[in-house]
Structure 1
Amino acid sequence: MLPNRFDLVVSAQPDVTVVTVTGELDMTTCPYVTRATDDLTLKGQILALDLSALTYMDSSGLNVLLTLRNRAHAEDGVLHLCGVPRQALRVLDLTGTRNLFTLRPCLTP
């Protein structure tokens, strides 16, 4: 059962898999994202994380994003962060990691 104020939807299409995260991405909810993405094949694929409904992200959430980015690169895939809210952008800026990600305003890969 997912925690209150959190939802996760995975939608696989031929060349892109969209993972939509709603609510808070923190130490309580990160394991759900990890489990949902562990079995995804990233080779030659785009993994688009739709974060437009994200309300909060802490260092645990940043760790999940960095782990997915590193995995995508290792598997010759691509990670796009879509609709990243201001608060999450601030976390990326404060940690100097914003330039490691491909940011998209919407889900168009």
Structure 2
Amino acid sequence: MQQPSDHVRSPLAPNLPCSERDGAAVSLPPGQATALFASSGNRSRVIVRGELDLVSGEQIRGRLVDALAASSDRLELDLSGVSFCDCAGLNVLLELRHRAVSQGKTVTIQAASPVVDRLLDLIGAQELFAPERSRCAEPASFGAASWSSPKPGALPSVKVQRGRRLSACG
């Protein structure tokens, strides 16, 4: 069943649906999410709004899979309107990416809310959804190692420093 907001078009991007009507945002009940998509050329773009959890994730999974099927090589996600995302919502995104990779496609997050950014950052998954221009051909190392000079009769040791990777590209 189509949602009324499926028919609304953004004046800035007429080929993409949006969740606005007469300039006012359409509010969703707590625990609800919408996933609106449009295809253009070799890609599909999905705009997700609302709370992404166990129940709402199951509700929008089909729309996400349909959007992936409609794209020939990539799916772009706009998650800037996601106000809540738990591990079940994250799992929906990771499963979508897994499905895309198995089909030779990519899933990128073009815009994300602070909630989504924080969750992806906490588990180290931002790189999985990074746009192509920010990825590198070489894998990045996540820490620096230094060898200490062993004393006669002692075993060498390795000191590892863990840090937050800002860029994998030199």
Common fold: TM-score over 0.5? yes
Give the alignment partner of residue 36 of structure 1, picking from 55, 60, 63. Answer: 63
- Structure 1 unaligned blocks of 5 or more: 105-109
3-state SS of the aligned residue for 1:87? helix
Question: Within 1, Cα distance between the matches of 2:64 and 2:35?
Answer: 11
Matches within 5 A, 1:29-108: 29-39=56-66, 40-41=68-69, 44-103=72-131
Question: Within 2, Cα distance between the matches of 1:69 and 1:49?
Answer: 11
Query: Is the CA contact (8 Å cut-off) linking 1:47 and 1:78 kept in structure 2?
Result: yes
**What's the CA shift for 1:103?**
4.8
Larger radius of gyration: 2
Report what 2:6 is aligned to.
none
Give the fraction of aligned pairs with identical amino acids, expressed as a percent. 31
**What's the CA shift for 1:95?**
1.6
TM-score by length of 1: 0.81
TM-score by length of 2: 0.54
- Structure 2 unaligned blocks of 5 or more: 4-27, 133-170
Question: How many positions carry a matched residue from both structures?
Answer: 104
Question: Within 2, Cα distance between the matches of 1:94 and 1:101?
Answer: 14
Question: Within 2, Cα distance between the matches of 1:42 and 1:72?
Answer: 12
Report what 1:107 is aligned to.
none
Aligned amino acid, residue 69 of structure 1: R
Aligned amino acid, residue 88 of structure 1: V
